[in-house]
A and B are shown apart, each in its own frame.
Chain A
Amino acid sequence: MRFLLRRVLFYALTAWAAITINFFIPRLLPGDPVTALMGRMQGRIDSQAEHSLRVLFGLDQDTSMGQQYVEYWGLLLRGDLGLSFTHFPTPVADIVNQSLPWTVGLVGVATIIAFVIGSLVGTFLGWRRGTWADGLLPVATFFQAVPYFWLGLITIAVLSVNLGWFPSSGSYDRGLVPEFTGEFIGSVIYYGFLPALTVVLSSVAGWVLGMRNMMVTVSSEDYVTVAHAKGLAERQVILGYAARNAVLPQVSSFALSLGFVVGGTLIMEMVFSYQGIGYALYQAVSTHDYPLMQGCFLVITLSVLVANMVADLAYALLDPRTRTEDR
Chain B
Amino acid sequence: MNSRLMFLRNGKVITGLVILGFFTLLALFGPWLAPYDPNQVSDALLSPPSAAHWLGTDHTGRDILSQLVVGTRGVLVVGLVAGVSATVVGVLVGVTAGFVGGVGDESLSALSNMFLVIPQLPLIILIAAQLPSAGGLTVALVIGATGWAWGARVLRAQTLSLRKRDFVEAARANGERTWRLVLAEVMPNLTAVIASGFVGTVTFAVLSQVTLSFIGITPVSEWNWGTILFWAQNNLALQRGAWWWFVPAGACIALLGMALTLVNFGIDEIVNPRLRSTGLHARSLRRRGIRPRVGFTPVVREARP
Contact = CB atoms under 8 A, between A and B. Distances in A.
Interface stretch (B86-94, B162-170, B174-182, B212-220): B212-220
A263 B122 CA distance: 6
Given A153-B246, A282-B215, A294-B126, A266 B278 contact: no
B282 A10 contact: no
A25 B122 contact: no
Nearest to A126: B278
B194 interface: no
A297 B126 contact: yes
A33 B296 CA distance: 62
A30 B246 contact: no
Contacts of B272: 213, 217
Interface in B212-257: 214-217, 229, 232-233, 238-239, 241, 243, 246-247, 249-250, 253-257
A161 interface: yes
A130 B285 contact: yes
B130 A216 contact: no
A267 B203 CA distance: 17
Contact of B122 (A13, A157, A297): A297
A198 interface: no
Indicate the size class of the contact surface on chain B.
Answer: 35 or more
A18 interface: yes
Nearest to B207: A147
A237 B296 CA distance: 14
A22 B130 CA distance: 12
Nearest to B253: A147
B280 to A, nearest CB: 10
B102 interface: no
Interface in A164-202: 168
A281 B122 CA distance: 9
A131 B119 CA distance: 37
Interface string B61-89: 00000000000000000000000000000
A149 interface: yes
A29 B122 CA distance: 16
Contacts of B205: none
Contacts of A26: 130
A286 interface: yes
Interface string A13-27: 110011001100110
A282 B211 CA distance: 12
A157 B120 contact: no
A130 B286 contact: yes
Contact of A147 (B211, B241, B279, B296): B211
Nearest to A221: B295
Contacts of A310: none
A259 B253 contact: no
Contacts of B265: 141
Contact of A141 (B119, B129, B258, B268): B258
Contacts of B260: 145
A154 interface: yes
B119 A304 contact: yes
Contacts of A271: 233
Interface residues of A, number: 75
A219 interface: yes
A163 interface: no
B188 interface: no
Interface string A119-154: 000000001011100100010011011111110011
Given A13-B110, A150-B250, A285-B217, A21 B278 contact: no
A179 B113 CA distance: 41
Nearest to A34: B130
A209 to B, nearest CB: 9
Given A10-B110, A293-B129, A262 B297 contact: no
Interface string B266-300: 00100010110011011001100001101111100
Given A17-B114, A281-B125, A259 B285 contact: no
A156 B246 CA distance: 12
Contacts of B246: 150, 153-154, 157
Contacts of A97: none
A14 B229 CA distance: 35
Contacts of B298: 130
A43 interface: no
A267 B282 contact: no
Contact of A266 (B121, B131, B261): B121
A144 B122 contact: no
Interface of B: 110, 113-114, 116-123, 125-127, 129-132, 150, 203, 207, 210-211, 214-217, 229, 232-233, 238-239, 241, 243, 246-247, 249-250, 253-258, 260-262, 265, 268, 272, 274-275, 278-279, 281-282, 285-286, 291-292, 294-298
20 contacts: A18-B118, A22-B126, A29-B131, A31-B131, A33-B132, A129-B282, A145-B254, A153-B238, A168-B238, A213-B268, A216-B278, A224-B294, A259-B116, A259-B118, A270-B215, A282-B215, A294-B126, A301-B118, A301-B119, A304-B117
